[in-house]
Structure 1
Amino acid sequence: MPTLLHLDASARSTSFSRRLGARFAEGWRAAHPGAGYVHRDLAADPVPFIGEAWTELCDEVMRRRITDLRRYAEVVQTPAQQAAWAVVAPLLDELLAADVVLVATPMYNFSVPAVLKAWIDQVTFPRMSLAGTRFVVVCARGGTYLPGTPRAPVEHATTYLRDFFDGHFAVTDVDVVAAELVNSLVDPLLADRRGEHDASLAAAEAEIDRLVATSTAAVA
């Protein structure tokens, strides 16, 4: 049976990115009874930032030209490296076991939250490939950053994730869903754009439902 790894990165316990992520996860799990499911809340239980021992592990992976991700533990030597690997191992095991990785994230200050970047750094090593793994990114953004809008060039959240998964993990199967203008609910200067937000959220929910249905059809 397939396995879904679900990552939440929002600092808010209730947020639009969490809402959209939960919608996909619940639909996917209903469509795959008995399938594996792992939920990691990176905001509530953040992983530590990488340190020097982690960089030593990366260096040794490159020196030995290791391409089998399950052999990375072979490079661990010093106590500091053992401590670094103790952080990496469970995160990497979850990632390698997943057929689908769901990343639910807001965009903070034009990019992804630090807790998500910390997770990415911990599980990323040289010469690794996750080709064949499906990634789904659901994102909530305070303003609008759609192609053709004035702020589109500074959208470094979903564009970063898509480019990273493709460029480093060799993953081309990446679906991105975003809800725009969530700040219209709280910012008086955006209040007149509430209708655009509502439409964007409805479109995002419909797209998530379509992705769930597509994944069900693919398995069937």
Structure 2
Amino acid sequence: MNSHPHLLHLDSSARRTGFSRHIGAKYAQAWQAANPHGRYTYRDLVKQPVPFIDEAWTQICDTVLAEQITDPGRIHEAVRTPAQRKAWEIVEPLLAELLSADELLIGVPMYNYSVPASLKAWIDQVTFPRARLTARVVVTAARGGAYGPGTPREPMDHQERYLRDFFRGHFAVDEVAFVTVEMVNSLVDPALAAFRQLHLDSVAAALKTVEAMR
């Protein structure tokens, strides 16, 4: 990490007070305290949603593959038409932020066993070129139930598994750190009230983990 590190922080929860946002904010605050001269970039993918990719994006991607463009600094060479230039205007700042980051922090809740569409839209925009990402990746996650190792719903977890597979398969990031709050629905669902203490313990553990990571 350089002397003036860069943290790119993304939030994707539809809840303004969601636990993924809360734990992520604690991490970001600690990071800024430890790096007073660092650069901090924040994107709220719900308040300022990233557009979905379109056909022009796929055309740029096809040219990148056909011409074997592997240097991110040369992707603009694959932009040939007005529609492609419009698509590139969306991608370029997102990709530049990502590739310049020393740390990537993502706040992400589990929606329907996977990640929110707001985050998936961002992921789709930055998935070219296939390149090595050197940033440390930290995910602050929240889930309504329990999906950890050994739980009955472990096979239904397409949140953590998906993000690990994406960063490993596309950006060659072998280690993604997850700080996860579980059983959030125990706060509102009477049928899960018996698991409320498990949720509270999960929040306490997440906060302790974030503190130790800095």
| TM-score category, normalised to shorter length | over 0.9
1:129 is aligned, of 128, 132, 137, to 132
Write the letter of the residue equivalent to 1:194: R
State which of 106, 112, 116 in structure 2 corresponds to 1:113: 116
Structure 2 match to 1:184: 186
Tell whether 2:29 aligns with 1:22.
no
C-alpha distance in 2 between matches for 1:134 and 1:172: 10
Structure 2: distance between partners of 1:154 and 1:172: 22
Determine the C-alpha separation between the residues in 1 that align with 2:205 and 2:50: 32
Q: Does residue 1:93 correspond to 2:96, yes or no?
A: yes
Indicate if the aligned counterparts of 2:24 and 2:105 stay in contact, CA closer than 8 A: yes
Any stretches of 5+ residues in structure 2 without a counterpart? none
Q: Sequence identity, in percent?
A: 58
Root-mean-square deviation over aligned CA pairs: 0.8
In the alignment, residue 160 of structure 1 is paired with which amino acid?
A: Y
8 Å Cα contact 1:66/1:127 also seen in 2: no
2:67 is the counterpart of 1:54: no
CA distance in 2: counterparts of 1:44 and 1:91, whole angstroms = 16
Name the structure 1 match of 2:158: 156
Out of 9, 18, 23, the residue aligned to residue 12 of structure 2 is 9
| Matched residue SS, 2:171 | coil
* Partner deviation per Cα, 1:163-182 (whole Å, 9 max, x = no partner): 11011100123111110001
CA distances 1:93-128 after superposition (whole Å, capped 9, x unpaired): 111110000010100000000010000000111432
Q: Is the 8 A contact 2:141 2:181 kept in 1?
A: yes
User: AA paired with 2:110?
Assistant: M
Q: 1:179 touches 1:197 (CA, 8 Å); kept in 2?
A: yes
User: What code does the residue aligned with 2:179 have?
Assistant: V
197, 201, 213: which is aligned to 1:195?
Answer: 197
Runs of 4+ in 1 over 6 A off after TM superposition: none
SS in structure 1 at match of 2:31 = helix
Q: 1:45-95 CA distances to partner (integer Å, 9 max, x unpaired)? A: 100000100000110001111111111111101000000001101111111
Residue 74 of structure 2 corresponds to 71
User: C-alpha distance in 2, partners of 1:114/1:27?
Assistant: 28
Aligned partners of 1:126, 1:31: CA distance in 2, in Å? 32
Normalised by the length of structure 2, the TM-score is 0.97
On the 8 A contact 1:177/1:208 being kept in 2, the answer is yes
Mapped partners of 2:6, 2:130: distance in 1: 24
Corresponding residue for residue 173 of structure 1: 175
| CA distances 1:126-166 after superposition (whole Å, capped 9, x unpaired) | 43221x21100110000000110000001111111011101
What is the rounded CA distance, in whole Å, between the counterparts of 2:158 and 2:132 in structure 1?
A: 23
Give the length in aligned residue pairs. 211
SS in 2 for 1:168: helix
Inter-partner Cα distance in structure 2 for 1:134 and 1:161: 14
Give me the TM-score of the superposition, normalised by structure 1. 0.94
